[in-house]
Amino acid sequence: MPQTTTGAPVEIGDAEFPAFVTDNDLVIIDLWAPWCGPCKRIAPILEEIARENPKVVVGKINTDEHQDVARKYGVMSIPTMLFFKRGQLVDQVVGAVPKSEILRRIEPHA
């Protein structure tokens, strides 16, 4: 899977996940579901981050349809954001946190 250059979050599934996190340098994976209120609140923030930070690629995994990644990383609540640097998990945030908190988590890896 080539690195995305859209500046927008990319919907991926369990099958695309391994290549997505290894083919892109700095990745945020947003684990979400359509019925989740906090997930809806965090979505525009992640869209802004994807647009404003060309080095950060945002992938979204709908946990209702794709559960393998959530299971692999022990995700018990959504939204959960997993931060990957060159394919390695480097951080994790649970809940609808402010944009400043997400940016603070990205900073050491950018």
pLDDT by residue (tens digit) across 34-90? 999 999 999 999 999 999 998 899 999 999 999 999 999 999 999 999 999 999 999
Predicted confidence (pLDDT) at residue 105 exceeds the cutoff of 50: yes
Predicted pLDDT at 3: 44
Q: Which of 36, 42, 56, 93 is catalytic?
A: 36
Active site residue 35: no
Give the residue with greater pLDDT, 77 vs 110.
Answer: 77
Predicted pLDDT at 2: 40
Q: Summarize pLDDT for 13-26 with one digit per residue, the tens.
A: 999 999 999 999 99
Query: Contact, 96 vs 38, CB < 8 A?
Result: yes
Question: Distance between CA atoms of 108 and 100, rounded to whole angstroms?
Answer: 14
Annotate the chain with three-state secondary structure: CCCCCCCCCEECCCCCHHHHHHHCCEEEEEEECCCCHHHHHHHHHHHHHHHHCCCEEEEEEECCCCCHHHHHCCCCCCCEEEEEECCEEEEEEECCCCHHHHHHHHHHHC
Active site residue 60: no
CA 34, 37, 40, 42 torsion: positive or negative? negative
Predicted confidence (pLDDT) at residue 1 exceeds the cutoff of 50: no
- 6 — pLDDT class (breaks 50, 70, 90): low
Out of 3.40.30.10, 3.40.1580.10, 3.40.50.2020, 3.40.50.2000, the CATH code matching 10-100 is 3.40.30.10
Q: Which of 39, 69, 75, 96 is catalytic?
A: 39
Predicted pLDDT at 8: 87
